[in-house]
């Protein structure tokens, strides 16, 4: 196992400010010297893998190789059962070039038309794959997932992305209504992070994936 002691530099391989905030909150107790790929001006690699783990690995390896520091990437998305798991790895792309998630949520609403009928299948989930990569190419990946229900119309102005149309199982508030601290403590990202932290920030065996729930 390779550890990252307090004070180590860690590149957070994201250009998404919403994710950066959530990741910074989750890493705060470790006392790492975090810097984002955006702040370092690193290029955004093509995320062309078919699954969350593959995309997280692409982003983490690109940032670790380009910066010479350990890098942590997250690939995540929203899925609906009625859409066979879409938008899934295409969650960001459904928002279009303007990155407008009102557009993305409206597309989910339109494409999952049968879900909104009485008795329709509204099952939905958020998935998060985390990949920690070192400049020599070693990687470790972790998966987290939260199950819930898609709701329409969207509710709440907190969070980002698809948060307003997701009601976690057993909850009464959508992710858009929930106070950020509560979401950050229970989200798919928090679950993936719990595994990362439990393993002491990654293991030495490069191909291993730790999973909390199945990946879709
Ligand atoms: P990527 O991981 O940067 O490719 O983007 C994943 C996309 O999934 C984000 O742009 C969001 O639209 C969506 N997403 C991932 N996690 C969350 C979340 O916690 N809340 C809302 N949307 C999310």
Which atom of ligand 1 is closest in space to residue 99's alpha carbon?
Answer: 10
Domain boundaries, position 53: 9-207
- Residue 74 appears among annotated catalytic residues: no
Q: Is residue 213 part of a domain?
A: no
pLDDT at residue 208, rounded to an integer: 53
Percent of the chain residues topping a pLDDT of 90: 71
The pLDDT of 54-76, averaged and rounded, is: 96
Query: How far does residue 113's CA lie from ligand 1's centre (Å)?
Result: 22
Report how far apart, in Å, the C-alpha atoms of 194 and of each of 40, 72, 130, 188 are. Answer: 27, 14, 11, 10
Closest-CA residue, ligand 1 atom 2, reads 75
pLDDT at residue 102, rounded to an integer: 97
Query: How far does residue 195's CA lie from ligand 1's centre (Å)?
Result: 19
Q: Is residue 1 part of a domain?
A: no
Per the listing, tokens 């979401």 go with 183
DSSP state of 87: B
DSSP state of 46: P
Options 25, 75, 100, 205, the catalytic residue: 75
Q: Is residue 216 part of a domain?
A: no
Please count the structural domains in the chain: 1
pLDDT for 102-140, tens place per residue?
A: 999 999 999 999 999 999 999 999 999 999 999 999 999
Query: How far does residue 105's CA lie from ligand 1's centre (Å)?
Result: 12
| Pocket lining: 79 vs ligand 1, CB cutoff 6 Å | no
Q: How confident is the model at residue 21 (pLDDT cuts 50, 70, 90)?
A: confident
Among 138-152, 173-187, 195-209, which stretch is predicted with the lowest mean pLDDT? 195-209
pLDDT at residue 70, rounded to an integer: 95
pLDDT over 90 (residue 153): yes
pLDDT over 80 (residue 18): no
Q: Is residue 161 part of a domain?
A: yes
pLDDT over 90 (residue 162): yes
Which atom of ligand 1 is closest in space to residue 87's alpha carbon?
Answer: 8
CATH no. for residue 164? Answer: 3.90.950.10
- Pairing, β 9-12 against β 33-36: parallel
Q: Is residue 137 part of a domain?
A: yes
Q: What is the mean pLDDT of the chain?
A: 90
Q: Is residue 202 part of a domain?
A: yes
pLDDT at residue 201, rounded to an integer: 67
Q: Which of 55, 161, 36, 173 is nearest to 181 (CA)?
A: 173
pLDDT over 60 (residue 214): no
pLDDT over 80 (residue 206): no
Q: Is residue 82 part of a domain?
A: yes
Q: Is residue 2 part of a domain?
A: no
């Amino acid at each position: 196992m390779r550890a990252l002691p307090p004070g180590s530099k860690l590149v957070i391989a994201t250009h998404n400010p919403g994710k950066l905030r959530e990741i910074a909150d989750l890493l705060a107790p470790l006392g790492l010297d975090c810097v984002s790929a955006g702040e370092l001006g690193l290029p955004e690699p093509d995320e062309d893998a078919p699954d969350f783990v593959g995309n997280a690995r692409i982003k983490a390896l690109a940032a670790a190789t380009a910066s010479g520091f350990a890098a942590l990437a997250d690939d995540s998305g929203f899925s609906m059962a009625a859409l066979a798991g879409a938008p899934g790895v295409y969650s960001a792309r459904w928002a279009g070039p303007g990155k407008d998630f009102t557009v993305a949520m409206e597309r989910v609403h339109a494409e999952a038309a049968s879900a909104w009928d009485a008795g329709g299948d509204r099952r939905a989930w958020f998935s998060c794959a985390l990949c920690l990569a070192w400049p020599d190419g070693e990687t470790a990946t972790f998966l987290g997932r939260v199950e819930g229900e898609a709701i329409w119309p969207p509710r709440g102005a907190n969070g980002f992305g698809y948060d307003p149309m997701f009601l976690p199982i057993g909850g009464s508030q959508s992710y858009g209504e929930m106070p950020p601290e509560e979401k950050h403590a229970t989200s798919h990202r928090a679950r993936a992070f719990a595994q990362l932290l439990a393993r002491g920030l990654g293991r030495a065996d490069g191909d291993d994936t730790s999973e909390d729930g199945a990946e879709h």
